[in-house]
Amino acid sequence: AVYPRVSYEARRPRFTNAVATQLLDLIIAKQSNLCVSADLTKAADVLQLADQVGPYICMLKTHADIIEDFDAKFVEALQKLAEKHRFMIFEDRKFADIGNTVQHQYAHGVHKIADWSHIVNAHTLPGEGIISGLKAVGLPKQRALLLLAQMSSAGTLFTEAYTQQTVVLADKHPDFVIGFIAQRALPSPAGNDYLVLTPGVGLDDKGDGLGQQYRTPHDVLVKDGCDVIIVGRGIYKPGRDPVAEAKRYQKAGWDAYLASLAA
Ligand code: 5BU
């Protein structure tokens, strides 16, 4: 394989951040590298989907700002489901401002993301301050950060140099940055290990007419060495059975992982 695969078990001791080790433990215990993206606009629908797919996932990804009736009750219910089914919560907030502002966006406002989301993500466009700012809020609460190193959409402005610079920024904060949102494995010049979570994964569709591009679990795990597949509409699109699809993607993701170990 182009990207030699090391097992989740063997990588676990390489991480100092507790969220990373918890996530790897869940992946191993549940044999699931599937993150479901619950992009629904009603709290009850997000909770119902989380309860349905919970047994088959290692992580649930949210967009809190699209939920019309977001409130503290929703957060409490989501946390209960995360405990019941053992999955991590990832608020896909994509912070992109100066350190001082993202601290407020992370800790305060309507969503108080730092209080409930194990993992958040950020663009590195503003420079290192965005990481330092989020870390000052998140690390004391035992949270973790993913950096956006690449996107799945057509015509993204990410360049190879930007992606590489993002890894260099991660290497300054390996206690808080546990990985990347990217489309392939990203080796670190400093020798740190990072988890790569990959959106734009689908077995049935090629795109969505708005620039999204789908690849298969086999493409991203075997060919490109990623670690976690992120699947949204592939699982909950109207007409699809979320439980059946979650099982299908869990198996596809785990089979691809095993194939990548053997490759
Ligand atoms: P989909 O329904 O599987 O297409 O949903 C993909 C999700 O991942 C959606 O919530 C996006 O906001 C998110 N996403 C993405 O699709 N591509 C990216 O590069 C990044 C996030 Br970063």
Give the tens place of pLDDT for each residue, 176-214: 999 999 999 999 999 999 999 999 999 999 999 999 999
The full length of the chain comes to 263
Which ranges constitute the DSSP H helices of the chain?
Answer: 8-11, 18-30, 43-53, 72-85, 99-107, 129-138, 160-170, 217-218, 233-236, 242-262
Whole-model pTM: value is 0.98
Q: Ligand 1, residue 200: give the atom nearest the CA.
A: 16
Minimum CA distance residue for ligand 1 atom 22: 151
**ipTM above 0.95 for this complex:** yes
Q: How many CB atoms lie within 10 A of CB 164?
A: 12
The pLDDT tens digits for 82-132 are 999 999 999 999 999 999 999 999 999 999 999 999 999 999 999 999 999
For residue 108, the CA-to-ligand 1 centroid distance in Å is 24
Angle between helices 43-53 and 242-262 (to 10 degrees): 50
Rg value, the chain, Cα:
17
For residue 199, the CA-to-ligand 1 centroid distance in Å is 5
